[in-house]
Every structure is written in structure tokens, then in C-alpha cells.
């Protein structure tokens, strides 16, 4: 058993730069992950994770459609790691899970909730922002771009390994009348 432990400790050191190691489900407790837009049900979600994007990119997220100003919620307990305004994601934020290894990215926000700051601790279900169409979302295309990444190092939040949030948000949901319903 000590050799297995030693191998697990040394394995990350043997991986090429920029490569992350993930063993098991990177989300600490996926069963408690909340759909991060108020009033949206699992049945309303669509899996756009592998959808093509410009310049040969893959979406690596899902878009949760909702009217402008709909409350955006913390999907889990965590810390606001970064507030960001950019040309692609528009008003966006990064929420780091309590496990310190799972990062949730929220983009195209209309605005943040008043007084939201980096380093602030938030609770699952807490209002953190509002749905918008900022960045490259397109005028009137109101939605939340939501992604989940597993981090090898929380200080290098931009190097996460993407995980499809759709199955995490729909786990246990029933889809009556939909092909493949559970």
C-alpha cells in the first residue's frame, strides 16, 4: 500500500506541464449542486457542452436560458475567487468550491448582486448576480453561460480541466416524455 500512496503523490510531478490529474468525480458533492438560475428546472436544461464555437473551439459549458435580470444563484457553497469583465464572457465571476479544487464559471451576467467582492464566502442558493447578455452573448440573447472545472492548483484557476455541468445539474431528474427518460 505505501507504494500506491507514493505513486499517487509523485504522479502529478511526472505529468507534462499544463496537464492536470483527476481521480474520480472532481465535484465534491455533485448531488447537492443547485441549478444556478432561479426558477429553472432540470427539464429546461439543454446539453450544449460539446457544441461548436467560433475558431474551432468547443463550448465546454452549458447555456441556461432565462429572461434578463433573473436571479443567478451560487450552485454550491464556496468563495468568489474572481470578478471579471471581458469581451467574450462579459460580466463574469468565478466561484471556488469549498473543496478548493472545483471552479464554477458564470458568464454573460447583467450585473453582480450589490456589494459582491472577491474573497467573499457565499452559500448554496445565495443570489450572486443576474442573467444578462454581456460579452459575446449577442444582444437580447439572455442566458447564463455556466461551466465547471477541476483544478490541480487553485492559484492557477485558468488551467482547469473542464467537466460537463449538464449531468451534474440533472442527476436524478426525471424527464417524462423525453426519449431516454430515466
Q: Where are the alpha helices (DSSP H) in 49-173?
A: 165-170
Q: Decide if 15 is inside a domain.
A: no
Q: Decide if 178 is inside a domain.
A: no
Q: Decide if 112 is inside a domain.
A: yes
CA distance 8 to 5: 5
Task: Provide the CATH number for the domain around residue 160.
Answer: 2.70.70.10
CA distance 124 to 28: 13
pLDDT band at 17 (very low <50, low <70, confident <90, very high): very low
Q: Decide if 118 is inside a domain.
A: yes
Q: How many CB atoms are located within 10 Å of the residue 130 CB?
A: 22
Cell for 65?
436560458
Q: Decide if 162 is inside a domain.
A: yes
Q: Decide if 9 is inside a domain.
A: no
Q: Decide if 16 is inside a domain.
A: no
Q: How many domains, the chain?
A: 1
Name beta bridge partners: 65: 143
Q: Decide if 106 is inside a domain.
A: yes
pLDDT by residue (tens digit) across 104-156?
999 999 999 999 999 999 999 999 999 999 999 999 999 999 999 999 988 88
Tell me which residue range forms the domain holding 163.
Answer: 26-169
pLDDT at 14: 37
pLDDT at 171: 85
Cell for 121?
464566502
pLDDT at 12: 42
pLDDT at 178 over 80: no
Q: For residues 175-180, give the mean pLDDT.
A: 47
pLDDT by residue (tens digit) across 26-70?
454 555 799 999 999 999 999 999 998 878 888 999 999 999 999
97, 79 Cβ separation under 8 angstroms: no
72, 128 Cβ separation under 8 angstroms: yes
Q: For cell 485558468, name the residue.
A: 158
Amino acid at each position: 500500500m505505501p507504494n500506491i500512496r507514493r505513486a499517487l503523490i509523485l504522479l502529478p510531478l511526472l505529468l507534462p506541464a499544463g496537464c492536470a490529474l483527476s481521480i474520480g468525480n472532481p465535484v465534491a458533492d455533485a448531488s447537492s449542486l443547485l441549478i444556478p438560475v432561479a426558477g429553472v428546472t432540470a427539464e429546461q436544461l439543454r446539453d450544449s457542452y460539446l457544441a461548436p464555437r467560433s475558431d474551432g473551439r468547443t463550448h465546454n459549458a452549458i447555456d441556461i436560458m432565462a429572461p434578463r435580470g433573473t436571479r443567478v444563484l451560487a450552485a454550491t457553497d464556496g468563495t468568489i475567487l474572481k470578478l471579471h469583465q471581458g469581451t467574450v464572457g462579459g460580466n463574469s465571476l468565478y466561484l471556488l468550491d469549498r473543496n478548493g479544487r472545483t471552479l464554477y464559471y458564470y458568464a454573460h451576467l447583467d450585473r453582480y448582486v450589490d456589494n459582491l467582492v472577491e474573497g467573499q464566502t457565499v452559500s448554496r442558493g445565495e443570489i450572486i448576480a443576474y442573467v444578462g447578455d454581456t460579452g459575446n452573448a449577442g444582444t437580447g440573447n439572455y442566458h447564463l453561460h455556466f461551466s465547471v472545472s477541476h483544478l490541480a492548483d487553485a492559484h492557477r484557476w485558468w488551467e482547469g480541466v473542464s467537466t460537463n455541468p449538464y449531468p451534474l445539474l440533472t442527476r436524478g431528474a426525471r424527464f417524462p416524455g423525453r426519449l431516454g427518460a430515466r
